[in-house]
């Protein structure tokens, strides 16, 4: 067990913080609620971003960039939208500082005529822009995505999971028909599911949010929900069908093939640096981070081991040769030849940082043309023939990627329950946690009561699985299908 | 000549705006001074970013991400720094809106204890963070870069050239010795020069800024200066040696090998979306944008030409085949088979957007296995054998890249002058514009007088070229070498 990491069994929340720190992913900044994403954390985010970006482009989307600042009046144009975001807005009111005896102060003469909101999300500024881009059905669809920072004034923050400023992507598409917009919403949900499972090795349940959990301004919110190791759920991505709400709020119409003027149909969809929190809590253990190879900043680290100065040169040269061979095969690999640290210390650090595969090579390995290979997740050790290093490591990375997903899937299944009564529901929640399928009568009242009494929320109405009708576990009223409950982050 | 583009000879400034519009690069947003970067403009920025990012990583840098908001008190810690940025700061003062009868208003109860500044640049927040990262010489150097948005409250804005919010990268490095920091500053200047010339085909002069043009907080500012077609200069990138100014302001020290506690040495360096303005004004003509192939969003567009419905299928299929062959060779290529537009209209659009190579194919080309190839810059036309399309187009793209640089270099040389008297200087400025080398006595007074009287500024003290001493053209006092003057953007 790593010295600086609190075991999960002792204090799960502290374990999470320790992992973020020991893996050098991020740290708190002096501005309350903001974080600094450190180079290792950012390299992880770059790999996630690049994989998602490719999937967006492969489905016909282009990137663009819209302004950080939104005029205050824009927010209020869509009634639900402003209600959802008004209480957590960073507001810019002035444009200048003046020197004072103690330093600087805000120049009162620089007060803005209209205050600007630092974007919490960009629907309003984007739909105001789309009005100018769309005249005819020929201008549709617009399939645009933006990688950006957004700000939501959160009081209780946790690194990655909930921060005042975070990085994300937000797709905003415009369509001529409702059907196309709904299809786009579902397509992007599927992109998120695929990304979560195939890159992050994080299994998810796809579904629809209830009205009370819907995005402010959406007609329907689709989501992917993941289950963390402590039995709590994490909303990992959302895809919204916005209907014509924003088009109407921003007077965005088009002339259709039939010559009639119609309002445009919209979607928006996003995932954020929050995914990194989900990644940590899906795979990691008491020794540190575990990252699936496809998104790991470094996939392999080679540690040369030498006792005397006269051994160093040959061992490091051998390590460099292996590195070059692996690099040629497209593997992200580095040699850790720092003299000031002992091998054991390096091993612990690479484990904390979650490097999937560690190769250790000493003088005997040089002589025998071998390398010791250890995989991060299972600690399985094997002695590889030098000639087989590239093929073995390549295969191992692929196997790890698959097995991390299988293992996470098994954990999720083991922690997924069904409850046929409210009592059973509460017992499972308190004793086991996890996902619970249960019947619900479809009303906001019952949903609120359950949340109030148990702190569990409806994560989603699942798209697949058991669709048998039944009776609500609380009120006994008819229920169309079981829905997915959990306590959540 | 393109219909919607004002010729340069008639109105250069309008020509610039027309190019930005007709090439679909960007547009003004409802927030004064902010811009929307449209998909084509953003794709161009992505290519520039990716090329730069690779160069940064190849020189040992990592990316990270620091907070958007900077506490007001941080800015005043470095005296020159706050003086430079105080007058153009977006200030966040509140964190909540409340509903009113007319919409929403700022909630007075949400006033912040300390106002937050939207970063105009990140030295202060980063050096506050580095203090926690650096204890010993073993922690140095830190070689970090950030891709981010920054805000400087500008009153007179022009798309790309000067906007309130812009995208940029800012490198921030920390070193144990002055020598290392100076070497880093010069290395990054060289990276910028290489990028400008080899990717943007934009020749630049490298030099050092005078004290009055120095970055607020720097000991020395190095820069690359480019010359636009209208004879005005553009500062295209800067690399600052910050000495120990920020380390002292933020109390950032390290224990050196000799056991002594010392302040850390710093650099910072940045280029921004402003480069796109420079790109436009280096190459483009009265028909639209011209982009060097290496950074062009699309390098080749194939336009199928057909008169009747029964020709369409074969011609489009042929175009698609060519596309696939070019794509396999790593070329960014698309087919424009939109039925609603005539070929001539498409040609004009692709010219406006600056696609380097256009291939046109009609039924006769299908039959004879040919393709008509036109390069954007010279309009040179050739009929290619189908079997030679990939090799010819690949070679042509490389030739264009080189010839755009040569042509820009010739223009710069033709517009670079020397002035041995102040009268000659003023005459050249008014009659020809361009870069002017002249002697200057090294004082801020003379520099200010020249600026006041002629609107020309010292762009830099060039690093290479003629180093012969002489006498100041204005005061006759001794001058160490000729310096580079120009009117500038």
pLDDT in tens, A127-157: 999 999 999 999 999 999 999 999 999 878 8
Chain-centre distance for alpha carbon B460: 17
Chain B residue at shortest CA distance from A64 = B39
3-state secondary structure (DSSP) of residue A400:
helix
Residue A29's φ and ψ, nearest 5 degrees, are: -105, 165
Identical fold between B12-68+122-283 and B417-486: no
Contact check, Cβ <8 Å, B69/A99: no
B477 has a pLDDT exceeding 60: yes
Average pLDDT, chain B: 96
The pLDDT, as a whole number, for residue A101 is 81
pLDDT digits (tens, 9 = 90+) for B122-179: 999 999 999 999 999 999 999 999 999 999 998 788 999 999 999 999 999 999 999 9
Structurally, what CATH architecture does the domain formed by A298-399 represent? 3-Layer(aba) Sandwich (3.40)
pLDDT digits (tens, 9 = 90+) for B209-256: 999 999 999 999 999 999 999 999 999 999 999 999 999 999 999 999
Q: How close, in Å, is residue B31 to chain A by CA atoms?
A: 7
Region of poorest pLDDT, from A199-203, A281-285, B56-60, B72-76:
B72-76
The pLDDT, as a whole number, for residue A102 is 77
The pLDDT, as a whole number, for residue A2 is 67
Domain B12-68+122-283, classified CATH 3.30.930.10, yes or no? yes
Give the span between the Cα atoms of B416 and B413, in whole angstroms.
5
Contact B246, B239 (CB under 8 A): no
A171 has a pLDDT exceeding 60: yes
Chain B residue at shortest CA distance from A68 = B165
Of the candidate CATH numbers 3.65.10.10, 3.40.50.300, 3.30.110.30, 3.90.650.10, the domain formed by B417-486 belongs to 3.30.110.30
Extract long-range pairs of B148-151: CB within 8 Å, 24+ residues apart.
B148/A149, B148/B65, B148/B66, B148/B68, B148/B119, B148/B122, B149/A68, B149/A148, B149/A149, B149/B68, B150/B118, B150/B119, B150/B120, B150/B121, B150/B122, B151/A68, B151/A69, B151/B89, B151/B90, B151/B118, B151/B119, B151/B120
Contact check, Cβ <8 Å, A74/B46: no
Q: Are strands A69-71 and A91-94 parallel, antiparallel or unpaired?
A: unpaired
Contact B94, B159 (CB under 8 A): no
Of the candidate CATH numbers 3.40.630.30, 1.25.40.10, 3.30.930.10, 3.40.50.300, the domain formed by A12-68+121-283 belongs to 3.30.930.10
Give the span between the Cα atoms of A163 and A161, in whole angstroms.
7
3-state secondary structure (DSSP) of residue B434:
coil
Please state, in angstroms and as integers, the Cα–Cα distance from residue B367 to each residue in B222, B312, B386, following that order.
Answer: 58, 14, 11
Region of poorest pLDDT, from A406-420, B69-83, B313-327:
B69-83
The pLDDT, as a whole number, for residue A309 is 77
Pull the structure tokens for residue B382.
Answer: 């050739």
Chain A residue at shortest CA distance from B164 = A67
Q: Are strands B111-118 and B357-361 parallel, antiparallel or unpaired?
A: unpaired
Query: Which residues contact residue A156 at a Cβ distance below 8 angstroms, ignoring those fewer than 6 apart?
Result: A162
Give the span between the Cα atoms of B468 and B474, in whole angstroms.
17
Query: What percent of chain A lies above the pLDDT cut of 90?
Result: 93
Contact A457, A213 (CB under 8 A): yes
Query: Helix A444-454 and helix A422-431: axis angle, to 10°?
Result: 40
- Can you point out the beta strands (E) in A415-481? 416-419, 435-439, 457-462, 470-471, 478-479
> Which residues in chain B have Cβ-Cβ distances shorter than 8 Å to A137?
none
> Which residues in chain A have Cβ-Cβ distances shorter than 8 Å to B81?
none
Q: What is the mean pLDDT of residues A299-304?
A: 98
The pLDDT, as a whole number, for residue B309 is 77
Strand B357-361: give its sheet, edge to edge: B333-335, B300-304, B357-361, B370-375, B381-385
Give the span between the Cα atoms of B139 and A340, in whole angstroms.
12
Pull the structure tokens for residue A407.
Answer: 């293992």
Of the candidate CATH numbers 3.40.50.2020, 3.40.50.800, 3.30.420.40, 3.40.50.1820, the domain formed by B298-398 belongs to 3.40.50.800
Of A37, A95, A99, the CB nearest to B65: A37
> Which residues in chain B have Cβ-Cβ distances shorter than 8 Å to A73?
103
Sign of CA dihedral B469, B470, B473, B476: positive
Query: Helix B12-22 and helix B343-353: axis angle, to 10°?
Result: 120
Of B69, B73, B165, the CB nearest to A103: B73
Q: How close, in Å, is residue A404 to chain B by CA atoms?
A: 27
Contact check, Cβ <8 Å, B132/A27: yes
Contact check, Cβ <8 Å, B97/A86: yes
Query: Which residues contact residue B36 at a Cβ distance below 8 angstroms, ignoring those fewer than 6 apart?
Result: A64, A65, A66, A67, A129, B26, B27, B28, B29
The pLDDT, as a whole number, for residue B1 is 52
Give the span between the Cα atoms of A92 and A256, in whole angstroms.
40
Contact check, Cβ <8 Å, B96/A86: yes
A308 has a pLDDT exceeding 80: no
Chain B residue at shortest CA distance from A24 = B133
Contact B224, B196 (CB under 8 A): yes
The pLDDT, as a whole number, for residue B2 is 66
CATH class of A416-486: alpha beta
Q: How close, in Å, is residue A84 to chain B by CA atoms?
A: 11
Burial level of B50, CB count in 10 A (0-12/13-18/19+)?
exposed
Query: Which residues contact residue B179 at a Cβ distance below 8 angstroms, ignoring those fewer than 6 apart?
Result: none
Contact B473, B425 (CB under 8 A): yes
Contact check, Cβ <8 Å, A36/B65: yes
Which has more pLDDT, A99 or A422?
Answer: A422
Helix segments in A23-115, DSSP class H: 39-58, 72-75, 79-85
Give the span between the Cα atoms of A224 and A238, in whole angstroms.
7
Read off the pLDDT band of B113 (50, 70, 90). very high
The pLDDT, as a whole number, for residue B154 is 85
Give the span between the Cα atoms of A182 and B458, in whole angstroms.
58
Read off the pLDDT band of B79 (50, 70, 90). confident
* CA nearest to A137, candidates A267, A252, A257: A257
The pLDDT, as a whole number, for residue B294 is 98
Average pLDDT, chain A: 96
3-state secondary structure (DSSP) of residue B328:
helix
A1 has a pLDDT exceeding 60: no
Domain ranges (residues) in chain B: 12-68+122-283, 298-398, 417-486
Of A68, A73, A89, the CB nearest to B151: A68
Contact check, Cβ <8 Å, A91/B97: yes
Contact check, Cβ <8 Å, B86/A72: no
Contact check, Cβ <8 Å, A91/B96: yes
pLDDT digits (tens, 9 = 90+) for B10-52: 999 999 999 999 999 999 999 989 999 999 999 999 999 999 9
Please state, in angstroms and as integers, the Cα–Cα distance from residue A469 to each residue in A212, A254, A428, B10, following that order.
Answer: 22, 42, 22, 74
Contact check, Cβ <8 Å, A93/B91: yes
């Amino acid at each position: 067990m790593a010295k600086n990491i609190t075991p999960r069994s002792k204090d799960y929340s502290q374990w999470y913080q320790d992992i973020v720190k020991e893996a050098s992913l991020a740290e708190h900044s002096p501005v309350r609620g903001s974080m600094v994403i450190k180079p290792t954390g950012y390299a992880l985010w770059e790999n996630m971003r690049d994989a998602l970006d490719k999937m967006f482009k492969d489905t016909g989307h282009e990137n663009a960039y819209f302004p950080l600042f939104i005029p205050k009046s824009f927010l209020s144009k869509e009634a639900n939208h402003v209600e959802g975001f008004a209480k957590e807005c960073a507001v810019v009111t002035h444009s200048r500082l003046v020197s004072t005896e103690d330093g600087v102060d805000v120049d009162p003469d620089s007060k803005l005529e209209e205050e600007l909101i630092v974007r919490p999300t960009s629907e309003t500024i984007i739909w105001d822009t789309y009005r100018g881009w769309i005249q005819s059905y020929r201008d549709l669809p617009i399939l645009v995505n933006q990688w950006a920072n957004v700000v939501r004034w959160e009081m209780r923050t946790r690194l990655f999971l909930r921060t005042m400023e975070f990085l994300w992507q937000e797709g905003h598409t415009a369509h001529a028909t409702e059907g196309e917009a709904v299809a786009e919403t579902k397509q992007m949900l599927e992109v998120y599911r695929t990304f979560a499972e195939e890159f992050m090795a994080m299994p998810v349940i796809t579904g629809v949010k209830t009205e009370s959990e819907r995005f402010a301004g959406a007609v329907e919110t689709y989501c992917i929900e993941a289950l963390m190791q402590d039995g709590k759920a994490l909303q990992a991505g959302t895809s919204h069908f916005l209907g014509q709400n924003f088009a109407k709020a921003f007077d965005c119409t088009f002339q259709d093939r039939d010559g009639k003027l119609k309002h445009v149909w919209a979607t928006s969809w996003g995932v954020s640096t929050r995914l990194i929190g989900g990644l940590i809590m899906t795979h990691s253990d008491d020794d540190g981070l575990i990252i699936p190879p496809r998104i790991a900043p470094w996939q392999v680290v080679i540690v040369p081991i030498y006792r005397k100065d006269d051994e160093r040169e040959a061992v490091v040269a051998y390590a460099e040769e292996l590195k070059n061979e692996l690099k040629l095969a497209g593997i992200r690999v580095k040699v850790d030849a720092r003299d000031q640290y002992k091998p054991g210390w390096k091993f612990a650090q690479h484990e904390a940082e979650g490097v999937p595969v560690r190769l250790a090579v000493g003088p005997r390995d040089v002589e025998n043309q071998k390398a010791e290979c250890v995989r991060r997740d299972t600690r399985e050790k094997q002695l590889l023939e030098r000639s087989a290093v590239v093929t073995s490591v390549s295969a191992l990375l692929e196997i790890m990627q698959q097995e991390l997903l299988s293992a996470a899937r098994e954990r999720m299944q083991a922690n997924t329950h069904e409850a046929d009564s409210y009592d059973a529901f509460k017992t499972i929640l308190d004793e086991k946690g996890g996902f619970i399928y249960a019947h619900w009568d479809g009303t906001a009242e019952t949903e609120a009561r359950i949340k109030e009494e148990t702190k569990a929320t409806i994560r989603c109405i699942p798209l697949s699985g058991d669709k048998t009708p039944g009776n609500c576990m609380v009120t006994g009223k008819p229920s169309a299908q079981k829905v997915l409950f959990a306590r959540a982050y």
